[in-house]
Structure 1
Amino acid sequence: MQEFLNYFENIPSLHRSIILIGGLTLFWLIESAVPLFKFNYRKWKHAWPNIFFTLTTVVINFVLAFLLLKSADWVTENDFGIINWLPEMSLGLYIFLGVLLLDFFGAYLAHLVEHKIGALWMVHLVHHTDHNVDTTTANRHHPIESVIRFTFTLLGVIIVGAPIGIVMLYQSLSLVFSQFNHANIKLPKTIDKTISYLLVSPDMHKVHHHFRLPYTDSNYGNIFSVWDRLLGTYLEYDREKLVYGVDVFPDEEKNGKITELLKQPFQKYERPTETPEI
């Protein structure tokens, strides 16, 4: 287990790139073979703006990575943070708790806050205005959102007390799980449901991309489903009835243009009140 952690402490940039590209390629192929929806789109044309925003996310995280390293080194040297204050435990449990708690701060909490604060919701809209959710949607984040997400992850590192090995492991898992649960994959319902008791499955996350409230404001998790289940934000919906996008930004052509998406957070928009579907 120590060797496993050592690997992620020193994971080469090449290996991180392989995880990004390899995961994207794998789920691209799987969703092409067993799609949940047979989208009437040109896959590469749809993928281009999403890949552009994936690259901006990579650049921002690369530029700011030194802050993660400095913070992780500081909590380690000062024995600071939740997992360092707990009673002595096995290394395996230490790693698991670190990843679990980082998933709360870096994914669940960040995502929840983005939906509850108007200005942040406008930034997050770029992610939700994809009308054909597939594996490339995973990192369709406006550059401002990439900074916001990074800030929450940095906060998580300090509060959790995660060493850099656990941070790198978390980020790798977060990337792959995001590609997985956004993928346009049709798993057998029983398998998908079973996965969702512990992890965020494709059907579970797709509910979050439904265009109507209250479903848009549910299922915020990325790796572990436990946060949604414990904190009352878990919802289910018939996957065959899902409609992607946001009802006040219905123009699919505009929502597929990089220039329009970069401007989207600065447009005037007021969120509708919750109107549950029957």
Structure 2
Amino acid sequence: MESLKNYFLSNPSTSQVLLYAGIILSLWLIEAIVLGTSWKDKWKHTLTNTLFIGTALPVQLFMTIFVLIIASWGAAHSWGLLFVLPYAKSYFTKYFIGFILLDFCEYLYHVIMHKVKPFWNLHLVHHSDLQLDVSTTVREHPAETFLRMCFLMLWVFLLGASFGVLLLRQTLQTVANITSHTKFRLPAKANQIISLIFITPNLHHVHHHYQLPYTDRNYGDVLSIWDRLFNTFHQDLPVSEITYGIDTHMDPKANASFLSILKIPFLTRNK
């Protein structure tokens, strides 16, 4: 157990990838078996989304180096908001408050991606998936991956987030992102309770409904409290009322072609 812990701490990027892959594969199999999805259709859909790993993962891994450099510099110079808060050296401030602030930053990033037109043209690649399932998690344009990591570098610089809180944050974010995209939904009562604090699959399914105002609801990443505070929260939509995708890009043929999806931001930039 100790050797496993040491490996996880000394190889954060590799550990994240392994965790990511393990959870996605497990949920993918459960979706296929329990929900009785056609294996042929699921393989075809998953293959299209999985190809994005090949374009986004190298960008993510490369830019993680700079995130860690910034975190190390901040720690060495006691730079960032977390260093000027009361009890800055306490675990409570470093990890709990650090996690809360990073989660708020991720909420802010998500809102920006929806509200700034050039950024939305990139982000709608993720929203254009007409069959939301766990593989949708990896459907991200490589240019958005680059942009997302640039924002993360900015947040780490401003907050002075340590390596430890980044590791905690990224681990919980990995689990939250994957589970929120699964086809499975929580029972209404359970969703009502859990969603008081956390983003659930039910909440994120609303966010992937193809029309406004639902596309602009439930931006939260791990915590739902930001949506409640800033009036972007929507409790739930019945499954029968949800249509996945984005209303400007509902062509099944275009959304099934990896190359066509990659071109979306450039074909829509002047629209």
The question of a shared fold, defined as TM-score above 0.5 by the shorter chain, is answered with yes
Post-superposition Cα deviations, 1:170-204, rounded to whole Å, max 9, x if no partner, equal: 12221221100010002211112211111110001
Q: Which runs of 5+ in 1 are unaligned?
A: 272-278
C-alpha distance in 1, partners of 2:21/2:130? 23
Amino acid at match of 1:112: V
1:24-63 → structure 2 map (5 Å cutoff): 24-35=24-35, 42-63=41-62
* 1:9 Cα deviation from its structure 2 partner: 4.6
1:219-234 → structure 2 map (5 Å cutoff): 219-234=218-233
2:104 aligned with 1:114, yes or no?
no
* 1:8 Cα deviation from its structure 2 partner: 5.9
2:138 aligned with 1:139, yes or no?
yes
Amino acid at match of 1:168: L
C-alpha distance in 2, partners of 1:11/1:71? 17
C-alpha distance in 2, partners of 1:39/1:230? 40
Q: What residue number does 1:162 align with?
A: 161
Q: What residue number does 1:275 align with?
A: none
Query: Are the aligned partners of 1:34 and 1:186 in contact in 2 as well (CA < 8 Å)?
Result: no
* 1:245 Cα deviation from its structure 2 partner: 0.7
Which deviates more from structure 2 when the two are superposed, residues 37-46 or residues 218-227?
A: 37-46
C-alpha distance in 2, partners of 1:266/1:157? 30
Runs of 4+ in 1 over 3 A off after TM superposition: 4-9, 11-14, 32-35, 37-41, 268-271
Change (3 A) 1:96 1:33: farther
Q: What residue number does 1:22 align with?
A: 22
Change (3 A) 1:92 1:57: farther
Amino acid at match of 1:250: M
Query: Are the aligned partners of 2:80 and 2:160 in contact in 1 as well (CA < 8 Å)?
Result: yes
Which deviates more from structure 2 when the two are superposed, residues 225-234 or residues 96-105?
A: 96-105
2:72 aligned with 1:73, yes or no?
yes
2:186 aligned with 1:193, yes or no?
no
Query: Are the aligned partners of 1:10 and 1:165 in contact in 2 as well (CA < 8 Å)?
Result: no
* 1:44 Cα deviation from its structure 2 partner: 1.2
Aligned length: 267
Percent identity for Structure 1 against Structure 2: 35
Change (3 A) 1:230 1:38: farther
Post-superposition Cα deviations, 1:66-86, rounded to whole Å, max 9, x if no partner, equal: 211110011111112222211
* 1:209 Cα deviation from its structure 2 partner: 0.4
Query: Are the aligned partners of 1:193 and 1:201 in contact in 2 as well (CA < 8 Å)?
Result: no
* 1:5 Cα deviation from its structure 2 partner: 9.9
Post-superposition Cα deviations, 1:239-267, rounded to whole Å, max 9, x if no partner, equal: 32111011121111211211001100011
Query: Are the aligned partners of 1:68 and 1:164 in contact in 2 as well (CA < 8 Å)?
Result: no
C-alpha distance in 2, partners of 1:40/1:112? 35
Question: TM-score, with normalisation over the residues of structure 2?
Answer: 0.90
2:258 aligned with 1:250, yes or no?
no
Amino acid at match of 2:19: I
Query: Are the aligned partners of 2:220 and 2:226 in contact in 1 as well (CA < 8 Å)?
Result: yes
Amino acid at match of 1:186: R
Post-superposition Cα deviations, 1:139-167, rounded to whole Å, max 9, x if no partner, equal: 21101100111111111111121111211
C-alpha distance in 1, partners of 2:116/2:203? 23
C-alpha distance in 2, partners of 1:123/1:66? 23
Amino acid at match of 1:257: S
Q: What residue number does 2:217 align with?
A: 218
Q: Which runs of 5+ in 2 are unaligned?
A: none
Question: TM-score, with normalisation over the residues of structure 1?
Answer: 0.88
* 1:122 Cα deviation from its structure 2 partner: 0.8
C-alpha distance in 2, partners of 1:97/1:188? 31
Change (3 A) 1:116 1:261: same
C-alpha distance in 1, partners of 2:174/2:8? 14
Cα RMSD (Å): 2.5
* 1:269 Cα deviation from its structure 2 partner: 6.3
Change (3 A) 1:191 1:54: farther
